[in-house]
């Protein structure tokens, strides 16, 4: 059931995003990236990490479930920090803020559609929270450090480079962190 959301959005956009190197905190620049790929590299994990953080709150998962296209998801996911995130994504990809915002809005809409389709009749606040908890490590492995999303979302673990590491010890540490992050919703 838990398809990789980052991979789906990469295909949806027709872009190529790469996992971040945990040592350099950058993507491999030996391959030339098109500007659109850089935009996707920043926008996809930025939007997904916003969804992840929003699903940690009881009111957040309820709002996502009840969203019927009445409000742009990016607006409620990021609130007053939306334009700062858009600015950072635009800077990273060297595109206009308007282009970054349009792309991020499309990603947020597709993410919502995809998750609701994935969970189908099992969509509940708990299943939504668990779904994003299961995606956490994958999301963070694509998140460029330059965006400093943890700083914006008041969660230093988001920017922690151990989230980008792979292997048995890192996997064990990430499993323990995922267990604690999915064990309950934060109170607002």
pLDDT tens-digit profile of 43-75?
A: 999 999 999 999 999 999 999 998 876 678 999
Q: Which residue has the higher pLDDT, 159 or 128?
A: 128
Cβ pair 182, 88 in contact under 8 A: no
Q: Structure pTM?
A: 0.83
Q: Is residue 187 part of a domain?
A: no
Q: Is residue 174 part of a domain?
A: yes
Q: Is residue 186 part of a domain?
A: no
Q: Is residue 163 part of a domain?
A: yes
Q: Of the candidates 75, 87, 69, which has an alpha carbon nearest to the alpha carbon of residue 147?
A: 87
Cα separation, 40 vs 17, in Å, equals: 7
Q: Is residue 86 part of a domain?
A: yes
Q: What pLDDT shows up at residue 53?
A: 96
* Number of domains observed in the structure of the chain: 1
Q: In terms of residue numbers, what domain contains 9?
A: 5-181
CA atoms within 13 A on the CB side of 69: 3
Q: Of all residues in the chain, what percent carry a pLDDT higher than 70?
A: 75
Q: Is residue 48 part of a domain?
A: yes
57: CB partners within 8 A, 6+ apart: 185, 186, 187, 188
Q: What are phi and psi of 16, to 5 degrees?
A: -115, 120
Q: Is residue 99 part of a domain?
A: yes
* pLDDT one-digit tens code per residue, 78-88: 999 999 999 99
The pair of structure tokens assigned to 188 is 């607002």
Cα separation, 29 vs 151, in Å, equals: 25
């Amino acid at each position: 059931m838990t398809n990789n959301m980052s991979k789906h959005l990469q295909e949806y956009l027709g872009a190529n995003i790469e996992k971040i190197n945990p040592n350099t905190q950058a993507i491999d620049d030996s391959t030339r990236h098109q500007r659109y790929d850089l935009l996707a590299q920043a926008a996809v994990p930025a939007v997904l990490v916003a969804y992840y953080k929003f699903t940690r709150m009881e009111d957040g998962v309820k709002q996502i479930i009840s969203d019927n296209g009445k409000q742009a998801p990016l607006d409620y996911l990021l609130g007053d920090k939306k334009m700062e995130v858009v600015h950072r994504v635009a800077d990273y990809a060297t595109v206009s803020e308007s282009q970054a915002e349009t792309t991020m809005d499309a990603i947020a809409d597709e993410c919502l559609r995809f998750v609701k389709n994935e969970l189908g009749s099992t969509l509940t606040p708990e299943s939504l929270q668990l779904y994003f908890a299961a995606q956490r490590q994958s999301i963070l492995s694509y998140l460029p450090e330059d965006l400093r999303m943890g700083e914006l979302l008041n969660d230093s673990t988001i920017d922690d480079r151990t989230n980008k590491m792979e292997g048995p010890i890192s996997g064990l540490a990430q499993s323990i962190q995922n267990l604690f992050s999915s064990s309950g919703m934060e109170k607002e």
